[in-house]
Amino acid sequence: MELMKFSSNENANVINSYEFLQVINGFRVESGENEVENSHFLDRVIDELDISNSKTFRIKNNRGNKEVNVVNLTKDDMLLVGMRESKTVRKKVLEYIKSLEKNTAPRTYIEALKALVIVEEEKQRLVYEKNEAIKTKAYISDKKTATAMATASHLKRENNKLNDIIEKYKTQYLTPTELGALIDVSGIAMNRLLEAGGFQYKQGKKWIIKDNDFYCVVETEIETDTFKTTKEQIKWSPKVLAYLDITLD
């Protein structure tokens, strides 16, 4: 599916929450999840960003010109709101926001509408396939149902634990070793996870950041021995954990 990239201004610095919800719901459908209603999504946005209801305003949506309440979101706001989604949806949201960073979002309303049509068609196709699967499958055994429920419960607990870690250390920037300690992996393993997540790559013996990623800082450290040397150290925000393929015990 082609990413839907809305933009409320020419520089793609701001998007309203209803437009962002269309992106989220598109990714949710792709991942086999239910869509979220605008009112529930807006409550989540207001809670996550800790903003006042007075920041909301009304626009006409693209479904029958019905008016809906929205707030404007920056790319940082979208990252925070996106962290509340499942692991699969979070990864898609990150790729979407990175595309905005590269200025690949549509520049006109017509382009945005075309992108929306693509999403709607994909959603209809997935619904059709889901209905056909239900028709051809006689039943789901109790054992499979129980396994699915247990898996969902485990994933929810895992997601809550990860969010607690991110919230506790969100103002800090940590070395890979320090970051790995939060999820019980070594610094070497943490670097590999960051590499697999597309945040860095190795050139010789040195780790290089991809796309000037906004989840990290580079600090220069001075090592004092017989000779004074300088060493660059990449430190990461724990927020990056939300977009990595990790499993917590």
Residue-wise pLDDT tens digits, 32-73: 889 999 899 999 999 888 888 888 888 887 666 788 889 999
Torsion region of 140: left, alpha or beta (phi above 0 gives left; psi -120 to 50 gives alpha): beta
> Could you tell me the residue range of the domain that residue 56 belongs to?
15-136
Residue 154 above 80 pLDDT? Answer: no
Q: Which alpha helices (DSSP H) does the chain contain, by range?
A: 17-30, 38-49, 75-82, 87-101, 109-136, 142-169, 176-182, 187-196
- How far is residue 159's CA from residue 5's CA, in Å, rounded to a whole number? 27
Specify whether 165 is located in the same domain as 226: yes
List Cα–Cα distances, 203 to 99, 208, 209, 219, in angstroms.
Answer: 24, 7, 10, 18
Specify whether 115 is located in the same domain as 25: yes
Specify whether 147 is located in the same domain as 196: yes
Specify whether 153 is located in the same domain as 117: no
Mean pLDDT of all residues in 190-198:
88
What is residue 2's predicted lDDT score, i.e. its pLDDT? 40
Residue-wise pLDDT tens digits, 97-146: 877 766 555 544 455 556 666 667 777 777 777 777 766 665 455 555 55
